[in-house]
Structure 1
Amino acid sequence: MPNMVVISTTAVPDHVRGAISRWLIEPAPGFYVGTVSAKVRDMLWDAVSASVGEGAAVCVHPAENEQRYVIKTAGQRRRRVTDLEGLQLVAFMGENGHVPL
């Protein structure tokens, strides 16, 4: 069953953008949306996450959980996805790499 997937990229190599655009549309720079099967989504995300280089990428897709979606990230970002009792939340990292209190 195809489901919507959203991938956002920042400063990734051109070949990564090309690979994503074969399956998804790019309505804004670095922002991709499409409807693909779970198998295609997973294969695409594996390729993207292995090739982000100095950049970063985020993937959001439907899932059978309380939030009804999953967030996956690759590369270094100030925002980190944190699991809190089964809920995915976003934590902002401080300059030293830790969550500020």
Structure 2
Amino acid sequence: MATMTVIATTAVPDHLRGALTRWMIEPMPGLYAGTLSARVREELWSAVTATIGDGAAVLLHPDDNEQGFTLHTAGERRRVPIDLDGLTLIALNPTETDNETVNP
């Protein structure tokens, strides 16, 4: 059964953007939405993770759990999903700072 799928990308190669637009619409740059079967969704996500390069991507699709959706991520990003007793929460990793202390 086909379900609504959303993929958001940042700084991905142009050929990957083209591959995603074959199956989904791109209402704004880097945001893709479509109604996909599980097989097509998995194949597209495999292509995304294999060619992400220095970019980042997030996949959201409906699922039979408490939140009603599942979230997958690929690439480097500050926001990292964590599982807390079956709920997906987002942890914000602060950017690395140098060890200099500012003296008052």
Which aligned segments of 4 or more residues in structure 1 are displaced greater than 3 angstroms? none
How many Å apart are 1:68 and its aligned residue?
0.7
Q: Could you say which residue in structure 1 is the equivalent of 2:99?
A: none
Aligned runs of 1:11-26 on 2, under 5 Å?
11-26=11-26
State the TM-score, normalized to the length of structure 2. Answer: 0.90
Superposed CA RMSD in Å reads 0.6
Contiguous gaps of at least 5 residues in structure 2 = 97-104
AA aligned to 1:39 is R
Q: Could you say which residue in structure 1 is the equivalent of 2:73?
A: 73
Number of positions where the alignment pairs a residue of Structure 1 with one of Structure 2: 96
TM-superposition CA deviations, 1:58-86 (whole Å, max 9, x none): 00000111111001000000000010000
Contiguous gaps of at least 5 residues in structure 1 = 97-101
Q: Percent identity?
A: 57
AA aligned to 2:54 is E
Q: Could you say which residue in structure 1 is the equivalent of 2:49?
A: 49
AA aligned to 1:16 is L
